[in-house]
Amino acid sequence: MRTIILLVTLIFAALFVSPMPINERTESYELTVLQINAKWNESNALDINRLKNCNIEWAYLEEQNKDVQDKFQKIPFIVIKKGNEPIAFWEGNIMFEPTVTLQELQAHVNNH
Please tell me the predicted confidence (pLDDT) of residue 36.
Answer: 96
Residue-number span of the structural domain to which 91 is assigned: 2-111
Please tell me the predicted confidence (pLDDT) of residue 1.
Answer: 57
Structural domain count of the chain? 1
Please report, for the domain that includes residue 10, its CATH number: 3.40.30
Please check whether residue 7 is in contact with residue 71, taking contact to mean a CB–CB distance below 8 angstroms. Answer: no
**Residue 34 three-state SS:** strand
Identify the DSSP state of 54: S
Percent share of the chain, pLDDT over 70: 76
Rounded Cα gap, residues 109 and 111, in angstroms: 5
Mean pLDDT computed over 8-36: 66
